[in-house]
């Protein structure tokens, strides 16, 4: 890498708008649809330079807005020079280490490019390839892919990389950790050399730097503060709970403890819908927000959530983008996310602006490894809890019957009921936890390190 300039995350004006960054009307409209008002530091730093055609070396984690930092200017670049990519070809190739991340990036391109006519496809392993190869038949503007399946489709001549003008390598450090380095090098070798390359990594070990050096030309370096540390004001805890008991635990929590503004995260759209219905059956006022909801439905749900008597908001991660509400008292992770950074991002919805907040996670047996990954990222275990208080369960007021929220002036009054009683009687509540009856929390020390080179079957699944 030569003459890289380094900017830090704190060097932002705060008053910059997306229009100031040089984005066009269709893209600005999509951002307004998403509810974004201000660029994040990495967007502020990266967008103008990527628009100008410069390579980029970004040190940024999920949760910093890095996807938009590369997607927005690339959408503009493709719009400004409209070309047909040709059959089985793409103009932008994004490589991501996991299928979840690939799917998320794909959705982001679709969302940000929805008024710009951007066509995008995603390919990853572990599912049939038919739909993916069909999506590539006429070519697309953007292809997001995990390395293993991409190579498979290239071998079968179902994807052709000779028209790539823009390459994004996302989460390079995880690519290396997961043993994809050879696949990545093989793919990069197939690309035209006169392309623009954007390289992102959450950490910058020597190996990542040397990989970047082989791929980038005079890149701009941008760096943002790591997102591995949630706000100190968020009280985190986890329930070890069998999957089939999650629903009743949730209802109990919502009735007894999580009575402020609450977001419940589900992993899938279908799961969010089901939860929404279950809560309605239990007499709990709830609204769902996910990718299958129309814009009008999303707006209605958000408006209700911002009102003084908010319903419980059941959200998926993608749809939770753009939920910009300061006074969220509780985040409940009904299901743990695949990406540990997503956990940090989810719980960052509460405890904002110095206010206190609670993040409660439900972890079933199958989710133990996800919890371990989260704790590894946080570098500490999340305290485990037992059942919430049973007191008054049967006679509790349903959610819609509770008192309206107090104004901002009385912070004490804003605390949810159980949070207040916890402050008053912390020992009594904690005393209910019987460590012997409880599975030991998974700690970083108990977790085997990520294998550096997965077996071939695993790699092909990605």
Stretch that binds ligand AMP, among 32-40, 177-185, 249-257, 385-393 (CB under 6 A): 32-40
Closer by beta carbon to ligand AMP, 104 or else 414: 104
Q: Does 163 bind ligand AMP (CB under 6 A)?
A: no
Stretch 391-450 residues interacting with ligand AMP (CB under 6 A): none
Find the largest Cα–Cα distance for the chain: 69
Of 63 and 97, CB closest to ligand AMP: 63
Question: 88 or 261: whose CB is closer to ligand AMP?
Answer: 261
Q: How far is the CB of 38 from ligand AMP (least distance, A)?
A: 6
- For 91, 116, 141, 156, 196, the CA distances from 79, given in Å and listed in that order, are 11, 7, 10, 30, 15
Q: Which of 364, 147, 150, 123 is nearest to 241 (CA)?
A: 364
Q: Among residues 45, 64, 132, 361, which is the contact residue for ligand AMP, using CB under 6 A?
A: 64
What does each C-alpha distance from 51 to 8, 23, 46, 288 come to in angstroms?
A: 19, 9, 9, 36
345 touches ligand AMP by CB under 6 A:
yes
Q: Which of 44, 66, 88, 267 binds ligand AMP (CB under 6 A)?
A: 66
357 CB contacts (<8 Å, ≥6 apart)? 231, 233, 234, 235, 328, 329, 330, 331, 347, 350, 351
Query: Does residue number 12 form part of the binding site for ligand AMP (CB under 6 A)?
Result: no
Cβ 327 to ligand AMP, closest distance in Å?
Answer: 17
Query: Which residue is associated with the tokens 């997961």?
Result: 178
CA-closest candidate to residue 46, choices 30, 38, 57: 57
Per CB under 6 A, which region of 65-73, 213-221, 265-273, 399-407 contacts ligand AMP?
A: 65-73
How many residues touch ligand AMP (CB under 6 A)?
15
Per-residue tokens: 102: 């690939």
CA nearest to 202, candidates 13, 58, 37, 348? 58
Q: What angle do CA 120, 126, 132 make, to 5 degrees?
A: 30
Is 62 a binding residue for ligand AMP by CB under 6 A? The answer is: yes
Minimum distance, C-beta of residue 79 to ligand AMP, in the bound complex (Å): 19
Interface residue list for ligand AMP (CB under 6 A) = 36, 38-40, 43, 62-68, 321-322, 345
């Amino acid at each position: 890498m030569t003459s890289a300039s380094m900017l830090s995350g704190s060097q932002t004006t705060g008053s910059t708008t997306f229009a100031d960054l040089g984005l066009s009307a269709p893209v600005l409209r999509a951002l307004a649809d998403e509810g974004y008002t201000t660029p994040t530091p990495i967007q502020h730093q990266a967008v103008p330079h990527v628009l100008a055609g410069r390579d980029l070396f970004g040190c940024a984690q999920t949760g910093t807005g890095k996807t938009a930092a590369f997607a927005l200017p690339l959408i503009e670049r493709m719009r400004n020079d409209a070309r047909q990519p040709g059959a089985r070809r793409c103009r932008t190739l994004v490589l991501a280490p996991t299928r979840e991340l690939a799917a998320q990036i794909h959705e982001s391109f679709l969302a940000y490019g929805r008024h710009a006519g951007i066509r995008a496809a995603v390919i990853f392993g572990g599912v049939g390839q038919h739909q993916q190869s069909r999506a590539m038949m006429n070519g697309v503007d953007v292809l997001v892919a995990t390395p293993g399946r991409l190579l498979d489709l290239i071998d079968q001549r179902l994807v052709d990389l000779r028209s790539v003008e823009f390459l994004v390598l996302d989460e390079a450090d995880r690519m290396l950790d997961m043993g994809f380095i050879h696949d990545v090098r093989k793919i990069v070798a197939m690309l035209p050399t006169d392309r623009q390359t954007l390289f992102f990594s959450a950490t910058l070990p020597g190996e990542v730097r040397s990989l970047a050096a082989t791929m980038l030309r005079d890149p701009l370096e941008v760096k943002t503060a790591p997102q591995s540390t949630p706000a100190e004001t968020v009280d985190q805890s986890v329930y070890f709970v069998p999957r089939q008991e999650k629903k009743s635990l949730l209802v109990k929590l919502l009735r007894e403890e999580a009575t402020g503004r609450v977001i419940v995260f589900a992993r899938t759209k279908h799961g969010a819908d089901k939860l929404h219905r279950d809560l309605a059956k239990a007499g709990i006022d709830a609204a769902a927000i996910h990718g299958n909801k129309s814009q009008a439905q999303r707006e209605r749900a958000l408006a209700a959530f911002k009102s003084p008597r908010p319903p419980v908001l059941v959200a998926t991660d993608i749809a939770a983008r753009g939920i910009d509400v300061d006074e969220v008292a509780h985040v409940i992770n009904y299901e743990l996310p695949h990406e540990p950074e997503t956990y940090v991002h989810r719980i960052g919805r509460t405890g904002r602006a110095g206010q206190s907040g609670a993040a409660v996670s439900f972890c079933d047996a199958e989710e133990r490894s996800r919890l371990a990954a989260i704790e590894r990222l946080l570098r500490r275990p999340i305290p485990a809890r037992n059942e919430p208080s049973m007191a008054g369960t049967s006679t509790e007021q349903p959610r819609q019957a509770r008192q309206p929220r107090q104004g901002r002036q009385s912070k004490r009054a804003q605390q949810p009921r159980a949070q207040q009683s916890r402050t008053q009687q912390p020992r009594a509540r904690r005393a209910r936890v019987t460590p012997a009856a409880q599975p030991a929390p998974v700690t970083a020390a108990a977790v085997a390190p990520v294998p550096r080179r997965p077996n071939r079957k695993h790699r092909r699944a990605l």
